[in-house]
Amino acid sequence: MTDPHRTPPGLPLASLPDTDLDALLRSAPGPAPEDFADRVLQRLGAQPQAALSPPAAPQAGPRWRHLAERAALVGAAALGVGQVLAFIFGLWAATATA
């Protein structure tokens, strides 16, 4: 791999061979600031623990939603039972009049 420092000084970047461009892309642009880790730790210390602790497992849904689902289930069941009873009553009424 060619060292980008050693390419001809006057050669425009667009004219660099692929290998040199690759080398330039790989070369580190510069280290992180020396105090970076300290600043991260400061922010860790400054923020409330709740903000940095893992979030609680998501709940399946709000409470009202559970209640609505149960009410819908009970209502549908009652409607179904009513339909069956109406059918039986209809049969009984038909046979009774005959």
Partner 1 sequence: MRPDTLLHHARQGDRQAFGQLVRLHQDGVFGFLWRMGLRRAVIDELAQEAFLRAWAHLDRYDPARAAFSTWLLAICRHLALNELGRAGHRLEQPADDEDPAAADDAGSPPEALQHKRRQQQLHAALARLPAAQRSVLALAYLRELPLADVARIEGISEDAVKQRLHRARLALRAALENPP
Which residues bind to partner 1, rule: CB under 8 A?
4-6, 9, 13-14, 18, 21-22, 24-33, 36-41, 43-45, 47, 51-54
Q: What is the closest distance, in whole angstroms, from the C-beta atom of residue 22 to partner 1 in the complex?
A: 7
Task: Specify whether the backbone of 30 is left (phi greater than 0), alpha (psi in -120 to 50) or beta.
Answer: left
In Å, the largest CA–CA distance within the chain is 112
CB 32 → partner 1: shortest distance, Å?
Answer: 4
Alpha helix stretches (DSSP H) within 48-62: 49-52
CA distance 34 to 36: 6
Q: Which is nearer to partner 1, 40 or 85 (CB)?
A: 40
CB of 58 to partner 1, least distance (A): 13
